[in-house]
């Protein structure tokens, strides 16, 4: 399979799940009554437009594109308007500076990581963004581009987030503190937190928002990538908590489950993941593997493992793979019939039939880093981080249907909402 060349100069390949945003409309605050004792007149909900937010990690921007069809760009948001202030704080603190440079040289592949994940608020007035290099979460006003609130996470790096089905809470991984914070999305107030394994990564709200699943991936920035050194990567497991109390419900270490299935060769570091629509089956990627695993939740066992094709042009030197990922990005069609897989280091994406696990055409893509579902559910949308574009792949045909150029190194892509008629912040 041939590689598509990125439009920018070739970048270093050294070191670096899923649900679409469930947004709800809220009524505008009622106006003041004209006279005492007069009931306030009801106000119509603000008109919103469904969009996709694309986090351009190295740019520090988020492109807003249409959620279906041609994926046309609508506007762009600066998610680091306070960059100078944050950098001044970091450079005056030797410990913060050490971690800041560590993020740049490790998961940032020589670049600062300014945006990892993002979700819009239910009323479409703001977008909430995790910023790894600044170890925080901020809310950006979509009308003005200004920061509404900022929450510094524990430790020195923020990572993947998840939003509750009602859109009111956001969970964010604090990857160096082995902690997940749960915040009020409107105010940034911490509602609670819970402990995880080493390096918490993906978060998923499940069971109608009653549980949160967190996947810890261990230390993915070392060069100790030989299979026999897997034990050096740390404590990697899934932490399941009650979403209201944030108390542990289950802890799942996939090591024993993979061994029982006869795949002791696979890492137990669970990466991007997707549940079946009924929540009974979990599909997930693991470090160093070109494929994915199927896990039955009720019986607590691995049921199938799918190995996907390798690109013969991809180096087999595991230290060259981005943050221990060979494949990173997984999404399921709304009907649960198909999976979309981003083959990151193998430079392709493909749609897999869920019943047979047979892959479709290998669609060339340059370091695809994430996969999600379009607003109409007809396409898988991947971020091509090595080519600075976002591409849609039709679930029915498995073929590319559209692409749009975005900013530098797109990673997470999330469904969300903006006010109808919005084209960007004032002056943005």
Query: What CATH number does residue 384 fall under?
Result: 2.130.10.10
The count of other CB atoms within 10 Å of the CB of residue 184 is 14
Is the residue at 233 inside a domain? yes
Residue 106 is predicted with a pLDDT of 87
The arithmetic mean of pLDDT across residues 225-233, rounded, is 90
Q: Quick one: three-class SS letters along 95-123?
A: HHHHHHHHHHHCCCCCCCCCCCEEEECCC
pLDDT at 9 over 50: no
**C-alpha–C-alpha distance, residues 141 and 149, integer Å:** 9
pLDDT at 26 over 60: no
Residue 369: which of 11, 42, 100 has the closest Cα?
11
Quote the distance between the C-alpha of residue 41 and its chain's center. Answer: 41
Residue 84 is inside which H or E element, if any? helix 83-91
Residue 223 is predicted with a pLDDT of 87
Is the residue at 337 inside a domain? yes
Summarize pLDDT for 127-166 with one digit per residue, the tens.
Answer: 999 999 999 999 999 999 999 999 999 999 999 999 999 9
**How confident is residue 12, by pLDDT bands cut at 50, 70 and 90?**
very low
Residue 426 is predicted with a pLDDT of 84
Domain membership of residue 280 as a residue range: 48-419
- Give the total number of structural domains in the chain: 1
The arithmetic mean of pLDDT across residues 288-310, rounded, is 98
**Confidence (pTM):** 0.88
Is the residue at 227 inside a domain? yes
The sheet that has 400-405: what strands, in order across it? 368-373, 379-384, 389-394, 400-405
Residue 90 is inside which H or E element, if any? helix 83-91
Is the residue at 27 inside a domain? no
**C-alpha–C-alpha distance, residues 266 and 255, integer Å:** 8
Is the residue at 1 inside a domain? no
Is the residue at 148 inside a domain? yes
Q: Are 362 and 398 in contact (CB under 8 A)?
A: no
Residue 41 is predicted with a pLDDT of 55
At 388 the three-state DSSP class reads: coil
Q: Give the count of alpha carbons within 13 A of 3, CB side only.
A: 20
Is the residue at 253 inside a domain? yes
Is the residue at 37 inside a domain? no
Tokens of 382: 């991947």
Summarize pLDDT for 71-124 with one digit per residue, the tens.
Answer: 999 999 999 999 999 999 999 999 999 999 999 988 898 999 999 999 999 999
Summarize pLDDT for 173-226 with one digit per residue, the tens.
Answer: 999 999 999 999 999 999 999 999 999 999 999 999 999 999 999 999 888 889
List CB contacts of 64: < 8 A, sequence separation 6 or more: 51, 52, 53, 54, 73, 74, 75, 76, 77, 418, 422, 424
């Amino acid at each position: 399979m041939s590689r598509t060349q990125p439009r920018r100069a070739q970048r270093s390949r050294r070191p670096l799940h899923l649900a679409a945003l469930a947004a709800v409309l809220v009524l505008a605050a009622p106006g003041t009554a004209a006279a005492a004792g007069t009931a306030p007149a009801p106000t119509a909900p603000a008109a919103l437009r469904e969009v996709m937010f694309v986090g351009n990690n190295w740019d520090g921007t988020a492109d807003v594109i249409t959620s279906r069809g041609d994926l046309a760009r609508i506007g762009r948001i600066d998610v680091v308007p306070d960059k100078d202030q944050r950098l001044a704080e970091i450079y005056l603190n030797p410990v913060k500076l050490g971690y800041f440079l560590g993020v740049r040289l490790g998961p940032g592949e020589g670049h600062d990581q300014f945006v990892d994940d993002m979700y819009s608020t239910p009323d479409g007035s703001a977008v909430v963004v995790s910023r790894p290099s600044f170890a925080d979460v901020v809310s950006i006003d979509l009308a003005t581009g200004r920061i509404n609130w900022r929450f510094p996470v524990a430790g020195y790096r923020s990572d993947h987030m998840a939003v509750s089905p009602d859109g009111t809470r956001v969970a964010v991984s604090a990857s160096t503190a082995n902690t997940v914070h749960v915040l009020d999305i409107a105010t940034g107030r911490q509602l609670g937190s819970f402990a995880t394994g080493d390096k918490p990564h993906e978060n998923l709200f499940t069971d109608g928002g009653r549980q949160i699943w967190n996947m810890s991936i261990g230390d993915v920035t070392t060069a100790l990538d030989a299979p026999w050194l897997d034990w050096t990567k740390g404590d990697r497991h899934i932490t399941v908590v009650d979403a209201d109390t944030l108390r542990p419900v289950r802890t799942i270490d996939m090591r024993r489950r993979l061994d029982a299935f006869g795949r002791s060769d696979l890492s137990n570091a669970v990466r991007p993941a997707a549940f079946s629509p009924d929540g009974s089956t979990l599909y997930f990627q693991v470090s160093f593997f070109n494929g994915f695993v199927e896990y039955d939740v009720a019986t607590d066992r691995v049921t199938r493992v799918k190995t996907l094709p390798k690109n013969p042009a991809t180096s087999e030197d595991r230290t060259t793979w981005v943050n221990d990922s060979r494949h990173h990005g997984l999404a399921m069609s709304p009907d649960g019939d198909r999976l979309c897989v981003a083959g990151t280091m193998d430079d392709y994406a493909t749609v897999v039939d869920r019943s047979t696990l047979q892959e479709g055409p290998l669609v060339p893509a340059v370091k695809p880093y994430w996969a999600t579902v379009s607003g109409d559910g007809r396409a898988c949308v991947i971020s091509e981080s090595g080519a600075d574009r976002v591409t849609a792949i039709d679930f029915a045909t498995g073929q590319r249907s559209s692409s749009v150029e975005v900013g530098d190194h797109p990673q997470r892509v999330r469904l969300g909402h903006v006010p109808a008629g919005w084209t960007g912040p004032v002056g943005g």
